[in-house]
Structure 1
């Protein structure tokens, strides 16, 4: 054991011009001398009285600095013997690679840090770390899923939000299932507008539709289970399935949604995921007879249905067909919805409607993710609906989006008619354009078109990204809701210029 001692910090002086306290300056200086081996392990420090006299500071300042270093593990004490440099310096345990030194330090007793290999990740962690293409949102041009934010009635919403934000009753915890008044109002709305068979007891409020889908997958599927998904289909759902270790199996879609003949006669999958009222992204609407046939198939084979009713409010030519959950087999259908497209995405409110016997499992799954959903936002949404603003806003947006759909289709006909074909129905907030076969022979992909569009300030999505496996078509998914109708021609013309430049390049 060393019995070294030093007489004081003779070459150290405080800089009283610094904002840092004298205590911090002293503790930093002693720590630095320990780390650079000027103070070796087991070296005994002078008494606090001696240090205070030699440094011309109060004894309290010295004692505070020494106690801080002791708490951090750089110093230790012995009864009646004062402070010593610790022989287990914390920094030695934290270094992951040998420090580069110009010469050997005299402190041969200090531990040399060892090279460490990266700690292993879970299988999910390894899968997620391979994703290098995090989506960048533009919230403008032809970004999908973004409503007309300028048309949102903020003058109606803001006073309600401000009032609820000042309610102390909304500052604490509430029911994990969701704010009861919102669930009651939402149940009434879904029964009247979408024909659901549900009560407030069956509704779980979530932090957006993605969390709602995650909860459903967690309670219905085990790792390795198969789930049938539309192909092309919603990318976010596939991500949920992959993260859970489930295997998505693609079912092709046509002009009337999912191809019923492609459903396996003897299914091994446990879940069928659909967007029946407006297939995403291709836009097909499943007719009533076909919906009943799908429900019969699910009943015959014991397959769960996940019904994503993401933009049913926006049908322009006729009322939407009632939700599948309300047509029968309600005990086998999980209904998923969101306020992101009818109000605004940053609200982050979604919901599930589930059979009563699944409510507790769903709430428990939600608790493991986020716990309570933002309460002020729930209360504001409930009051906004109850006051009639919600229905009036939807009616206004329905007229506006129909005008915008006509505008983007006219622009596509003028600028893209010889290179792409639009696919649309009288519904929704987006269209799809598929490139003609001649374009594909030029050797470029739709992802290249999207990258070039973004460089021009135009957002959108590559159709090929929505396919599971080999894409059947190359094209673009263009959201039109947040673009002014008068700007459609200008922006579609830019897309045409991008396509022409890639043709020349290739």
Structure 2
């Protein structure tokens, strides 16, 4: 490419109306020309003075671009001789590089036309487990609003108290709170948590048995990395939380779904004949259906784990939000053999963005878990942990939970009333009296994913129950409705909007005009 041809080519592509600086555009255009061998190795590029004149740019702009290209190895400069394209890639290697059929596609990004590139290019680079994780991801682009499940009402968080505590620690700035966390997390928070868990959840633990993490996902990830090897079997409830199922799949474990009944996880005789390495359960409040594991089933599971040397991971999410009676005791509190790993977080009790969770591990594993946590994740957020510890010890945490429990109970009742008003006595409340969501079971033959899409078009966010089953095609149609983050006065209107989507998709799927019969599982 001659100097005049190069200048014309560059001039056609520089967008002087773009918010991107001209030096950045020029640099990327020259890089692209070199990578595509429009400017081959050894080719002399125009002098900075000549190119600046032909493009109508300041010479310093071109000099800046040439200097950056030299730093990155695209060109070499010799005093008195000029600037030349570097020979940086062996020919036998460049022959294996996949060049786009239309070279101009590489320049589409410079014009803000990334959509012209292949939409599959990202997927082609993923591993098999990476592609599976992305294709089966259950994460939503929306994280707030009616009726997003699992999201608390963050508008009632005691921000003034939290800010006061934060400011106090900043005023007494301690260098040790601004570095990496010690293995297991801040001792102050571990002591506060141990006291709280012993009194509120009947968890038997010392502060040393508590490992601070960023949440349930990291807690489970750490446990499976230390207690299992790739290919090991783990029992999961069917249905179960899709997020943890994804964690298990990318860890190389073989999840084995076990059906649940009204007493919780219910392994068959064939299941029991083949002990797994790990068992993941939500005994105090099955997710997403909401039943409570019976005492007999708990004792059976603990004895089975003891005899077969299985590890039980107890996910105790939402345990604080029980609306009748006292909170249930943990499974870990019944464990006399040290086979239960207890996990919890503050995401729903305080706010999801806090990103603080914890594990309680048997004494003999505590040091190993603390070391591994520091080795794998290099945790920090010690200032946040210190604030949280004081928030707990001063009593603000339990006070906040009491307040939110009353609010969520009322919102649950408003939602059930709205459903009964729309569907009359065809709606039934089944399951436990706890949590931040309920499940509506749709009529037989309904496609809950289609209903979810129809609801989203109306700006209502719900989740399809079938997606929580190991085989979604066999899962019963249903919807998860989170009521915690929806103001009281918005619930009836939002439910009627959702009901329109339910009626519309039920009619279309079943080709009939009757009102759908719905069951509600209060989960």
Query: What TM-score, normalized by structure 2, do the two folds share?
Result: 0.78
How far is the alpha carbon of 1:285 from its aligned partner? 1.1
Pick from 446, 456, 459 the counterpart of residue 457 of structure 1: 459
Tell me how far apart the structure 2 counterparts of residues 163 and 5 of structure 1 sit (CA, whole Å). 64
Tell me how far apart the structure 1 counterparts of residues 475 and 36 of structure 2 sit (CA, whole Å). 64
Tell me how far apart the structure 1 counterparts of residues 363 and 417 of structure 2 sit (CA, whole Å). 47
Q: Deviations over 1:169-211 (max 9, x none)?
A: 3222231421110011001111111111111111111111111
Tell me how far apart the structure 2 counterparts of residues 432 and 313 of structure 1 sit (CA, whole Å). 19
Aligned pairs (5 A) from 1:116-127: 121-127=126-132
Tell me, yes or no, if the aligned pair for 2:179 and 2:380 is still in contact at 8 Å.
no
2:338 matched to 1:331?
yes
How far is the alpha carbon of 1:63 from its aligned partner? 8.4
Q: Which has the larger radius of gyration?
A: 1
2:212 matched to 1:210?
no
Pick from 228, 250, 255 the counterpart of residue 257 of structure 2: 250
- Three-state SS of the structure 2 residue aligned to 1:218 is helix
Tell me, yes or no, if the aligned pair for 1:182 and 1:382 is still in contact at 8 Å.
yes
Aligned pairs (5 A) from 1:34-73: 42=42, 68-73=68-73
How far is the alpha carbon of 1:333 from its aligned partner? 0.6
How far is the alpha carbon of 1:317 from its aligned partner? 1.7
Q: Deviations over 1:237-268 (max 9, x none)?
A: 21111111212222222222222666833233
Q: 1:156 maps to what in 2?
A: 161
Shift in alpha-carbon separation, 1:125–1:43, aligned structure 2, 3 A: closer
Q: Deviations over 1:11-65 (max 9, x none)?
A: x9xxxx999999999999998998999987556799999999xxxxx99999887
- Three-state SS of the structure 2 residue aligned to 1:264 is helix
Shift in alpha-carbon separation, 1:142–1:91, aligned structure 2, 3 A: farther
Tell me how far apart the structure 1 counterparts of residues 423 and 463 of structure 2 sit (CA, whole Å). 17
Tell me, yes or no, if the aligned pair for 2:236 and 2:257 is still in contact at 8 Å.
yes
Pick from 474, 477, 485 the counterpart of residue 482 of structure 1: 485
Tell me, yes or no, if the aligned pair for 1:335 and 1:354 is still in contact at 8 Å.
yes
How far is the alpha carbon of 1:321 from its aligned partner? 2.7
Tell me, yes or no, if the aligned pair for 1:203 and 1:352 is still in contact at 8 Å.
yes
Tell me how far apart the structure 2 counterparts of residues 38 and 248 of structure 1 sit (CA, whole Å). 52
Tell me how far apart the structure 2 counterparts of residues 433 and 285 of structure 1 sit (CA, whole Å). 18
How far is the alpha carbon of 1:375 from its aligned partner? 2.1
Shift in alpha-carbon separation, 1:398–1:22, aligned structure 2, 3 A: closer
How far is the alpha carbon of 1:393 from its aligned partner? 0.9
Aligned pairs (5 A) from 1:18-417: 42=42, 68-76=68-76, 82-83=81-82, 85-86=84-85, 88=87, 96-97=99-100, 100=103, 121-131=126-136, 134-165=139-170, 167-169=173-175, 170-259=177-266, 264-329=271-336, 331-367=338-374, 369-417=376-424
Shift in alpha-carbon separation, 1:23–1:90, aligned structure 2, 3 A: farther
Q: 1:107 maps to what in 2?
A: none
Tell me how far apart the structure 1 counterparts of residues 34 and 218 of structure 2 sit (CA, whole Å). 50
Structure 1 stretch 407-416 or stretch 382-391: which is displaced more? 407-416
Tell me how far apart the structure 1 counterparts of residues 416 and 468 of structure 2 sit (CA, whole Å). 22
Tell me how far apart the structure 2 counterparts of residues 71 and 48 of structure 1 sit (CA, whole Å). 16
How far is the alpha carbon of 1:411 from its aligned partner? 2.0
Tell me how far apart the structure 1 counterparts of residues 71 and 147 of structure 2 sit (CA, whole Å). 57
Shift in alpha-carbon separation, 1:494–1:287, aligned structure 2, 3 A: same
Tell me, yes or no, if the aligned pair for 1:330 and 1:355 is still in contact at 8 Å.
no
* Number of equivalent positions: 476
Tell me how far apart the structure 1 counterparts of residues 130 and 349 of structure 2 sit (CA, whole Å). 34
How far is the alpha carbon of 1:291 from its aligned partner? 1.6
Shift in alpha-carbon separation, 1:329–1:95, aligned structure 2, 3 A: same
Q: Which runs of 5 or more residues in structure 2 are unaligned?
A: 11-15, 53-57, 105-120, 512-523
Shift in alpha-carbon separation, 1:263–1:345, aligned structure 2, 3 A: farther
- Three-state SS of the structure 2 residue aligned to 1:211 is helix
How far is the alpha carbon of 1:151 from its aligned partner? 2.1
Tell me how far apart the structure 2 counterparts of residues 82 and 500 of structure 1 sit (CA, whole Å). 77
Tell me how far apart the structure 1 counterparts of residues 327 and 207 of structure 2 sit (CA, whole Å). 23
Tell me how far apart the structure 2 counterparts of residues 448 and 28 of structure 1 sit (CA, whole Å). 44
Q: 2:115 maps to what in 1?
A: none
Structure 1 stretch 461-470 or stretch 120-129: which is displaced more? 120-129
Tell me how far apart the structure 1 counterparts of residues 122 and 403 of structure 2 sit (CA, whole Å). 59
